[in-house]
Each structure stands twice: as C-alpha cells, then as structure tokens.
Amino acid sequence: MSSNYIGSRLLGLLVTIDGFLVVALGAFGAHGLKTLIAPEAMQTWHTGVRYQMFHVVALLACAFFASTCEAKPRAVFWALVAAALFVLGTLFFSGSLYLLALTQKSWLGMCVPVGGVFFLLGWASLTICLLRR
C-alpha cells in the first residue's frame, strides 16, 4: 500500500469525524446552550459551527482529490497539506469561537484570525493540488 493510498483513506476518516463533530456541536448549541448563554454568545457559537461545516466540505474535497490523484504524488501531497491546514483552521477559528461563547474570555478572539489564515492557506494549497492534477 502506498502512502498516498493511506493518506487519502485517512482523509475520508477525518471528514466523517469532523462531520459528526460539527453536527453534534450544532445540536448542542441549538438545544443544550440556548438557555445557558446570551444571544450574542449563541451567535458566536453558530458562526463557529457554520465555518466548521464549510470546511467539512473542504475536507471532503481534499479526500476526493487525493483519492482520484493517487498516481500523482505531488497532487496528493497538496491535498494532504490543504486538509491539515483546514483542520488547524477549524481548531483555531471555530474552536476559539466555541470557547469564547462559553467563557466570554475576550482574548480568545485573537485566535480567530489565526484560524482564518489557516483556512486561506488551505484553500491556496487545494488550488495547488488541482493545478498538479
């Protein structure tokens, strides 16, 4: 088994885990947090969920491109780089918004732009992947 095959299979697993988590976090926000946090904090929570869901789709694209490009190692490499950046973006962007909504610690807002940069770099990497196909 090639490392490209393993990488593309790993991406599929990552998509399913992240998809499960975003649905669970969205449901928790809609049903479990609604009465516990302020409406502004609820909006912050939902922004985190929305961006995480967008990037589940981006991870799905990475998995698709990696699995269809197994004969082109450079394309798979860039799909994996993009996926790693999307995961980091989700952790920093959505993760800090979740924590901000729960704790109201304003310093967590400084992590959001870092996550945004990871997202942008992920999209750039996915573009390179497509150009390498």
Q: What is the pLDDT of residue 9?
A: 77
Q: How many domains is the chain built from?
A: 1
Q: Give the 3-state secondary structure of 8-30.
A: HHHHHHHHHHHHHHHHHHHHHHH
Q: Are 128 and 85 in contact (CB under 8 A)?
A: no
pLDDT at 63: 92
pLDDT averaged per 10 residues, the chain (length 133): 65 94 96 90 97 97 88 90 97 98 94 98 97 88
Query: CA distances (Å), 62 to each of 5, 10, 37, 89, 122, in order?
Result: 13, 11, 35, 15, 10
Question: What is the amino acid identity at position 15?
Answer: V
Joined tokens for residue 71: 């004969």
Contact 111, 92 (CB under 8 A): yes
Q: Which domain holds residue 32?
A: 3-132
Q: What secondary structure letter does DSSP report for 97?
A: H
pTM for the structure as a whole: 0.92
